[in-house]
Amino acid sequence: MNILILGGTSFLGPAIVESARARGWTVTLFNRGKTNPGMFKDLEQIHGDRDPNKAPGLEPLAAAIRAGRTWDAVIDTSAFVPRITRASAELLKPAARQYILITTLNVYADPLPVHADESAPLAADPQVIDEKLSNETYGPLKAACERALTAVYADRATMLRPGLIVGPGDPTDRFTYWPVRMQRGGEVLIPNSKNPWGCETSFIDARDLADFACICAQNGHGGAFNCAGPDGALTFDGFIFGCRGAFGNHVDFVPADDDWLLEQQVQPWMGMPLWIPASMAAEAPMGGINRRKAIEQGLKFRPLAQTARDTADWFMKTKPDFDFGAKPGAPGMSRAREAELIAAWKAHSKTKT
């Protein structure tokens, strides 16, 4: 096959490139040439800008199409604004048989029922399009991108909806915090949630998402697919113990009560990555999203232990001295903050007994 990737040099993009090359496919990249510019020098790269309003815009890609270039599929890893998605789709419609868009589970309207499938309602288009990404605009803008694509490509459009994308190369430091923390060993502060340990935890290794994108391209799968792993329920305690089990290091868990952690201003999801207290579980149903449709069409999930080990190995090779949570708002806890909380919890526990 001959595919075009919009983006291709950051996190998910390279995983898609490698998955395609493992299949013997021909890959062309269209990007600005600014992110990791030395990557994939052996591949054809067309440099321009996704935004038609920013020179040179899509013109270099348009010139290639005028010269007769065509692709079996385009995989779009960098669509965030419906205006820009529509421009790419309209340009590529006569030149690419299928358009695969990487979107997000955040496209769904609130409240999202637990175990919702792809038929759940999408977020409404913003009345006024604010192209600046934020927690509030991200989901509605992605939903609008899906509508912009399907308006052009119809049943030749494929929407892959992942939740948290993780693995080697992940720039967010959320999932990554736990494998790296387990590899470093010692006393590790964790939540001691009750009835049960928070809500289901969900994520997908970028390499598994890349493989499924290529499966959809090869088999022409159209429509929307929830791409959230693993295959089955994974509670937060299962995730934590699974990460610990991936390493031979000695780890001593120090479980602190949810309410106490919240009193110490430990932020759910970011301050203690992926943690959602049991009291807030109803607000986070994405862990229980229905992913049967994608699994039936070939989506597979590698074991948590493999993703954890690969992620920690990559991280320790690239930034071994990095301290999580050292900057305000950054995911995870700094070593000093974790040690301080562990000491405070132990003192609190003694006074309780």
Task: Share the mean pLDDT of the chain.
Answer: 93
Instruction: Evaluate if residue 131 carries a pLDDT over 90.
Output: no
pTM: 0.96
Query: What is residue 163's predicted lDDT score, i.e. its pLDDT?
Result: 93
Instruction: Evaluate if residue 285 carries a pLDDT over 60.
Output: no
CB 15 within 8 A of CB 207: yes
Q: From 270, 257, 126, select the one nearest 194 (Cα to Cα).
A: 257
Return the domain boundaries, the chain: 2-162, 174-200+233-284+303-352
Query: What is residue 194's predicted lDDT score, i.e. its pLDDT?
Result: 59
Q: Grade residue 248 by pLDDT with cuts at 50, 70 and 90.
A: confident
Share of the chain above pLDDT 90, in %: 82
Supply the DSSP string of 157-224, one letter for each residue: EEEEEESSEESTT-SS-HHHHHHHHHHH-EEEEEEE--SSSSSB--BEEHHHHHHHHHHHHHHT--EE
Lowest pLDDT segment from 104-113, 128-137, 161-170? 128-137
Q: Grade residue 296 by pLDDT with cuts at 50, 70 and 90.
A: very high
Instruction: Evaluate if residue 101 carries a pLDDT over 60.
Output: yes
Instruction: Evaluate if residue 63 carries a pLDDT over 70.
Output: yes
| 103-111: average pLDDT | 94
Instruction: Evaluate if residue 195 carries a pLDDT over 60.
Output: no
Q: Grade residue 247 by pLDDT with cuts at 50, 70 and 90.
A: very high
Q: Which residue has the higher pLDDT, 128 or 39?
A: 39
Cα 144 to Cα 148: distance, rounded to the nearest angstrom: 6
| 45-63: average pLDDT | 97
In this structure, which amino acid lies at residue 340?
A: E
Q: Grade residue 173 by pLDDT with cuts at 50, 70 and 90.
A: very high
Instruction: Evaluate if residue 286 carries a pLDDT over 70.
Output: no
| 229-257: average pLDDT | 91
Query: What is residue 329's predicted lDDT score, i.e. its pLDDT?
Result: 86
User: In angstroms, what CA-CA distances link 218 with 37, 231, 294, 303?
Assistant: 28, 22, 14, 24
Query: What is residue 91's predicted lDDT score, i.e. its pLDDT?
Result: 98
Cα 111 to Cα 328: distance, rounded to the nearest angstrom: 30
Lowest pLDDT segment from 10-19, 187-196, 220-229? 187-196
Query: What is residue 92's predicted lDDT score, i.e. its pLDDT?
Result: 98
Q: Residue 10: CA atoms inside 13 Å, Cβ hemisphere, count?
A: 15
Domain boundaries 2-162, corresponding CATH code: 3.40.50.720
Instruction: Evaluate if residue 245 carries a pLDDT over 60.
Output: yes
Q: Grade residue 206 by pLDDT with cuts at 50, 70 and 90.
A: very high
